[in-house]
Amino acid sequence: MADGELMENGIEQDEARIRQAFEDKNWNTIKSEDSWVIFKVMAEFVEGFDKLAKIGPCVSIFGSARTDPNHPYYKMAEEIGAKLVRHGFGVITGGGPGIMEAGNKGAHSQGGKSIGLNIELPFEQHSNIYIDPDKNINFDFFFVRKVMFVKYSQGFVVMPGGFGTLDELFEALTLIQTKIIGRFPIVLVGRQYWQGLVDWLDQTMLQQERNIGPEDLKLFNIVETTDEAVKVIDDFYSKYRLKPNF
């Protein structure tokens, strides 16, 4: 199918969703559709809790699904995954290609726990081959998946990525900032990639608009190397008793 046809189909699908949102539904339809969604959401929570409850201390690695295996960031994510296992952690990723595959690959290479929280998307996403078969979980709902990341991770390593990576990063920062969850280490890898965002947080969000406090910029670390990334997590837990977030 040509690019033009794909774009046209995408526009038609978007318009159909918009029209559907404005449809006047009767109560029976609402009860039927929403009840089914509730049971699907419950099923995803139950499966996630069941499979992840005893995985032990793990660190999540986030990043772009589009990163090529020959890219330096892919190699770094793979190395971080391997080092985390050697330091006693399992690795959790979004289960897809790119950076996620690299993190799982590094964990798998060291015989460590390699978990994939995959989500069905119309493009890009498919489970990578380095996930432990009994720890490969598929989700339909982003919010359920994010609960699993936060509930069962003792730290986040955030590689360069897109909207999904930023969503996961700011979800964690918000929950820590508002004290909904306890603090855990968040590591941004690649100063050149992240510095512009951090400068904006500092200069605009903090100094200009006062929408965050100075202490909020201390909720994460920026590092350049794989050794530094793992050291941040090791140093954090050298001061605290390592335990799950639940």
**CA 105 to centroid of chain Cα atoms:** 16
* pLDDT of the residue at 245: 43
Does pLDDT of 12 surpass 90?
Answer: no
Q: What percent of the chain has pLDDT over 70?
A: 82
Which pLDDT band, with edges at 50, 70 and 90, does 3 fall under?
A: low
* pLDDT of the residue at 125: 59
pLDDT, tens digit, 9 for 90 and up, residues 216-228: 999 999 999 999 9
* pLDDT of the residue at 11: 64
pLDDT, tens digit, 9 for 90 and up, residues 70-110: 999 999 999 999 999 999 999 999 999 999 999 999 999 99
Q: Please check whether residue 163 is in contact with residue 145, taking contact to mean a CB–CB distance below 8 angstroms.
A: no
- The rounded distance, in Å, linking the Cα atoms of 32 and 21 is 16
* pLDDT of the residue at 202: 98
Cα angle 121, 122, 126 (rounded to 5 degrees) comes to 55
Which amino acid, one-letter code, is at 119? I
Mean pLDDT of the chain: 89
* pLDDT of the residue at 36: 82
The third-level CATH classification (topology) of the domain covering 56-238 is Rossmann fold (3.40.50)
- The rounded distance, in Å, linking the Cα atoms of 67 and 98 is 4
* pLDDT of the residue at 239: 77
Does pLDDT of 246 surpass 50?
Answer: no
**Number of other residues whose CB lies within 10 A of the CB of residue 31:** 11
* pLDDT of the residue at 244: 42
The four Cα atoms 120, 121, 126, 132 give a dihedral, to 10 degrees, of -30
Q: Give the chain's end-to-end CA distance (angstroms, integer).
A: 47
- The domain locations on the chain are 3-41, 56-238
Query: Phi and psi of 225, rounded to 5°?
Result: -125, 165
Pair type for strands 114-119 and 136-139: parallel
Which amino acid, one-letter code, is at 4? G
* pLDDT of the residue at 25: 67
Cα angle 133, 76, 140 (rounded to 5 degrees) comes to 40
Q: Which residue has the higher pLDDT, 246 or 39?
A: 39
Beta carbons within 8 Å of 24's beta carbon, 6+ residues apart: none
| Average confidence (pLDDT) over 148-161 | 96
